[in-house]
């Protein structure tokens, strides 16, 4: 039926990870999973003019499992699977972000690793994973390596993934059972909306009610979502009430939002400060059993 000028490019659909990695070692395939970024970029254009590596049938890449160090979220795990997975409460922020991705259809198709690899500054999945201290596991025929998420996403649509590598999992470290998390998304409408600003906080309190460990990340206000590790360290040892007194504008240095159709830079920066306080407050409240 097709009278294409270019011969239809190859489409691989391996079931074994080794085959997928062999393909990538061979040629720079475009990796296809949920399709939620590939197809929107090709409206009115051909979809069969690039070599595609469809990884959705690689069994080893799907699902969420417990590991010795924490949790492993397979690359092709969809946002719906995140929502439905029986995970500890510290994942509530990530689940809230999953519910904020597009609409139900996008959550059913879109994958966690795809969200990271697309590297949109407004990727809703990134701040909660940053706040959780997630790492990205990359594999190639040469072996595997792990990178902190903050070192994986390098900028707007830019990642540390080499063309021959595949993201195979997102690794979330274990948190104390009492740890809690939060996520807030600011958008101009309820569903199907790209965030103006969003953020996530994770906190674990010690027995005395002091912050033992915490994380905070804000997205859509810089080329890549930012994790505020110095602030997180500063808050350790304080009670939530004291922690709020510690917060200062310079703690959120690095935010550099742009003006676009969703909001002005000035608005974004102010909203980011408000939102950072709110996600921390929510996580604290939950950790203290107040919410």
CB of 34 to another protein, least distance (A): 8
C-alpha gyration radius of the chain: 20
Candidates 20, 21, 31, 52: give the one binding another protein (CB under 8 A): 52
List the one residue out of 172, 77, 71 whose CA is nearest residue 115.
77
User: Pattern of binders to another protein over 2-41, x per CB under 8 A?
Assistant: xxxxx-x--x-x------------------x-xxx-xxx-
> Is residue 147 a contact residue for another protein (CB under 8 A)?
no
Q: Does the footprint of another protein cover residue 188 (CB under 8 A)?
A: yes
Query: Which residue of 15, 65, 105, 151 would you call a contact of another protein, by CB under 8 A?
Result: 105
Cα distances (Å, whole numbers) of residue 234 to 3, 120, 201: 63, 29, 14
Nearest to 256 by CA among 214, 216, 219, 205: 219
194: contact with another protein by CB under 8 A: yes
Q: Is 278 exposed, middle or buried (0-12, 13-18, 19+ CB in 10 A)?
A: middle
46 near another protein (CB under 8 A) = yes
Question: What residue ranges bind another protein (CB under 8 A)?
Answer: 1-6, 8, 11, 13, 32, 34-36, 38-40, 43-49, 52, 54, 56, 80, 99, 102-106, 108-109, 186, 188-194, 196, 261, 263-264, 266-268, 270-271, 274
């Amino acid at each position: 039926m097709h009278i294409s000028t270019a011969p239809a490019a190859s489409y691989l659909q391996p079931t074994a990870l080794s085959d997928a990695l062999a393909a990538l070692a061979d040629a720079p395939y475009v990796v296809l999973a949920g399709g939620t970024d590939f197809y929107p970029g090709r409206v009115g254009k051909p979809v069969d003019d690039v070599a595609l590596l469809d990884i959705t049938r690689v069994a080893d890449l799907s699902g969420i499992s417990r590991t010795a160090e924490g949790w492993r979220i397979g690359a092709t795990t969809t946002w719906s699977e995140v929502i439905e997975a029986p995970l500890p409460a510290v994942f509530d922020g990530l689940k809230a972000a999953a519910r904020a991705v597009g609409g139900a259809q996008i959550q059913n198709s879109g994958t966690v690793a795809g969200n990271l690899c697309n590297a949109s500054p407004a990727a809703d999945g990134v701040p909660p994973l940053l706040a959780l201290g997630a790492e990205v596991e990359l594999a190639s025929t040469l072996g595997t390596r792990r990178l902190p998420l903050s070192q994986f996403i390098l900028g707007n649509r830019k990642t540390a993934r080499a063309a021959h590598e595949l993201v195979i999992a997102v690794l979330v470290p274990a948190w104390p059972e009492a740890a809690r998390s939060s996520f807030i998304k600011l958008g101009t409408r309820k569903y199907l909306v790209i965030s103006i600003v969003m953020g996530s906080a994770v906190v674990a309190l010690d027995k005395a009610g002091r912050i033992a460990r915490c994380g905070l990340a804000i997205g859509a206000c810089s080329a890549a979502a930012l994790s505020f590790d110095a602030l997180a360290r500063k808050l350790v040892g304080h009670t939530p009430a004291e922690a709020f007194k510690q917060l200062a504008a310079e703690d959120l240095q690095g935010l550099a939002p742009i003006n676009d159709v969703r909001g002005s830079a000035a608005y974004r920066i102010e909203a980011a400060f408000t939102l950072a306080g709110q996600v921390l407050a929510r996580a604290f409240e939950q950790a203290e059993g107040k919410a």
